């Protein structure tokens, strides 16, 4: 819910008659209001006299101050209300602490500016006046962060961690009581509020890695060409953005939320006029064990992909997803996990079986509907031609294409037909119809099939290419370039399902989905259409693409690709997810690129 900010009247300037004020949304804590005032003052320097108002938006995390963040975290509890207000056009911009922003943003919203970063380190506040190492034996340390708790216990194994929530002033007051020997807070928040003198010591990033984005502000707006985006972008800091995007790339690579102990910190240095990124990362299992640290350096233009790749490597080394209760044993690998599956009916059936066989709970999201062509005359015509030997070769890219030609497969042909299939599932459908494919291309992309057929196609070959009405033209164009006479026919129509069921929406919105299996570019489109507004709640999920084309579609939609099998198929998708979570032999993207 929103309410006007009445106790900071200095934030309201005289409103120009020709332009409505720009409304900034913020949480209502003292620190959040201080940060909003800083942003408002910064925007006034570039607003050309436009009025800037501030409006309080109460977050879920502010309403629920008793539940541990390990229970309610990981799904944007401090940002989701602000994002909803943005989408509903109740505010024009939202100010967040960058560390609170999930790794995935709702469709239609964008992180428009990273205007300021203070000291990103964590700070020790203690009534004893000493740092962690000098606290009394068996100290009681207060923090609500799993990341901080894990690193405290690495430095002081005898420490007892007590959950500590509340506004910064509330936590500082508790630090003075005999209930706590020390508490851990972000140095930036203390500095912004003028309470830096309460800091006993600052913890070095190589021993106590901050949260991704810690110490930084971020302003979120609706996507360009929204007027607020254009204004807010003026106060963006390039090096600050680069550092934070590198840290958030690491966060995306892990797929972690508030329950996953992870840290990331990037520093930008200019060497001979070029950006060089120094990076520290840490990851532990959800039960706090297996703490592992990493340090790396990259040129600025390679740092985002580098951080994502480092995160993936750490996941395979640490296996952080123990919170679900699973294990490396095959039948328990997905225990406690709700896994969203998408794709055609054929594929979904096999994905559901594969997920269940490893102890998971499959959640089916219908993203596409396959229909026969609205006008089937062209398809019927080529089926007749196929029966009478009018084609030298047939290229089939899916099980749906096989089914579309089933009548032709049942009738005797004038002569043998050479058949190419993309993927083992298509080949298996062919075999079940009584035909053995002459060529099976393991690469699901059109480019891979063209490479496989380059040594086979003879100029003048008559090739039948039955496709979806949504298929890319790359394959047909490539076959023509090889000298073939290509007949393209719509074998089936792919329709996107854009409406999400209420039960599924609730499950996804509550952050219960642990993994998402996306089986085609059309499935990606349907997924975004249905769940684009729920993406922050999926920031802790692992995303699996069936193949390279789908992976490209996922990246274009702003989704990460955590795993992808080299050979597309239901079984290989399930295996790729298991390998990503448990460190078995894993098939991954060849270039590791996420940009």
Residue pair 9/50 in contact by the 8 Å Cβ criterion: no
CA torsion through residues 12, 188, 297, 290, sign: negative
Q: Which of 92, 100, 286, 443 is catalytic?
A: 100
Residue pair 217/96 in contact by the 8 Å Cβ criterion: yes
Angle at 366 between CA 362 and CA 370, to 5 degrees: 130
Q: Do you know the residue count of the chain?
A: 595
Strands 338-341 and 513-518: parallel
Residue pair 426/520 in contact by the 8 Å Cβ criterion: no
- Taking CB atoms within 8 Å and a gap of at least 24, the contacts of 63-71 are 65/165, 65/166, 66/165, 68/144, 68/163, 68/165, 69/144, 69/145, 69/146, 69/165, 69/258, 69/259, 70/146, 70/258, 70/259
Q: Which two tokens stand for residue 287?
A: 């039960």
d(CA 535, CA 509): 8
End-to-end CA distance of the chain: 36
Name the one residue in this structure whose structure tokens are 């520093």: 267
Could you confirm whether 451 is annotated as catalytic?
Answer: no
Q: Which two tokens stand for residue 138?
A: 């068996």
Number of Cβ within 10 Å of residue 41's Cβ equals: 12
Run of H or E including 370: strand 368-371
Number of Cβ within 10 Å of residue 305's Cβ equals: 18
Gyration radius of the chain over CA positions: 27
d(CA 216, CA 237): 11
d(CA 183, CA 565): 45
Widest distance between CA atoms in the chain: 92
Closest CA to 594 of 288, 307, 225, 173: 307
Cβ neighbors of 356 (< 8 A, separation 6 or more) are: 362
Residue pair 14/51 in contact by the 8 Å Cβ criterion: yes
Residue pair 393/385 in contact by the 8 Å Cβ criterion: no
Residues marked active site are found at: 100
């Amino acid at each position: 819910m929103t309410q006007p900010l009445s106790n900071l009247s200095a934030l309201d300037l005289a409103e120009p008659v020709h332009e409505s004020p720009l409304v900034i949304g913020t949480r209502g804590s003292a620190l959040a209001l201080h940060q909003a005032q800083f942003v408002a003052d910064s925007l006034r320097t570039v607003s050309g006299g436009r009025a800037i108002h501030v409006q309080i938006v109460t977050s879920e995390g502010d309403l629920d101050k008793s539940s541990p963040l390990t229970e309610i975290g990981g799904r944007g509890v401090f940002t989701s209300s602000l994002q909803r207000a943005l989408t509903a056009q109740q505010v024009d911009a939202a100010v967040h602490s960058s560390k609170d922003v999930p790794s995935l943003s709702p469709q239609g919203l964008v992180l428009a500016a990273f205007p300021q970063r203070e000291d990103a380190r964590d700070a020790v506040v203690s009534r004893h006046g000493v740092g962690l190492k000098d606290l009394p034996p068996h100290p009681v340390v207060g923090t609500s962060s799993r990341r901080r708790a894990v690193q405290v216990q690495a430095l002081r194994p005898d420490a007892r961690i007590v959950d500590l929530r509340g506004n910064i002033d509330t936590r500082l007051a508790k630090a003075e009581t005999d209930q706590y020997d020390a508490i851990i807070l972000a140095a930036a928040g203390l500095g912004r509020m003028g309470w830096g003198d309460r800091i006993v010591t600052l913890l070095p990033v190589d021993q106590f890695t901050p949260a991704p984005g810690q110490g930084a502000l971020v302003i979120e707006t609706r996507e360009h060409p929204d007027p607020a985006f254009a204004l807010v972008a003026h106060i963006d800091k390039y090096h600050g953005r680069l550092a934070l995007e590198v840290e958030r790339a690491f966060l995306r690579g892990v797929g972690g939320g508030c329950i996953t102990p992870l840290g990331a910190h990037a520093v930008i240095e200019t060497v001979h006029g070029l950006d060089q990124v120094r990076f520290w990362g840490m990851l532990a299992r959800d039960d706090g064990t297996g703490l592992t640290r990493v340090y790396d350096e990259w040129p600025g233009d390679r740092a985002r992909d580098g951080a994502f790749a480092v995160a993936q490597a750490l996941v395979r080394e640490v296996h952080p997803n123990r919170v679900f209760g699973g294990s490396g044993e095959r039948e328990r690998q997905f225990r406690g996990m709700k896994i969203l599956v998408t794709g055609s009916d054929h594929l979904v059936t096999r994905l559901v079986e594969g997920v269940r066989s490893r102890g998971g709970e499959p959640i089916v999201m219908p993203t596409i509907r396959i229909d026969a062509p609205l006008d089937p005359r062209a398809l019927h015509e080529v089926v007749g031609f196929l029966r009478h030997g009018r084609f030298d070769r047939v290229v089939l890219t899916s099980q749906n294409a096989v089914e579309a030609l089933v009548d032709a497969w049942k009738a005797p042909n004038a002569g043998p037909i050479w058949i190419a299939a993309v993927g083992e599932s298509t080949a298996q459908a062919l075999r079940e119809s009584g035909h053995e494919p002459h060529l099976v291309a393991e690469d699901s992309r059109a480019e891979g099939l063209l490479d496989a057929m380059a040594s086979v196609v003879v100029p003048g070959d008559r090739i039948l290419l039955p496709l979806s009405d949504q298929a890319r033209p790359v394959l047909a164009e490539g076959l023509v370039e090889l000298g073939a006479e290509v007949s393209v026919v719509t074998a089936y129509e792919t329709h996107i399902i854009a409406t999400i069921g209420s039960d599924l929406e609730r499950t996804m919105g509550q952050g219960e989905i642990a993994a998402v299996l996306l089986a085609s570019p059309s499935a990606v489109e349907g997924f975004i259409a249905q769940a684009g507004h729920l993406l922050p709640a999926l920031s802790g999920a692992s995303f699996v693409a069936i193949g390279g084309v789908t992976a490209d579609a996922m990246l274009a939609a702003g989704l990460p690709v955590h795993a992808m099998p080299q050979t597309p198929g239901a079984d290989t998708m399930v295996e790729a997810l298991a390998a990503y979570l448990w460190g078995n032999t894993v098939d991954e993207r060849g270039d590791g690129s996420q940009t």
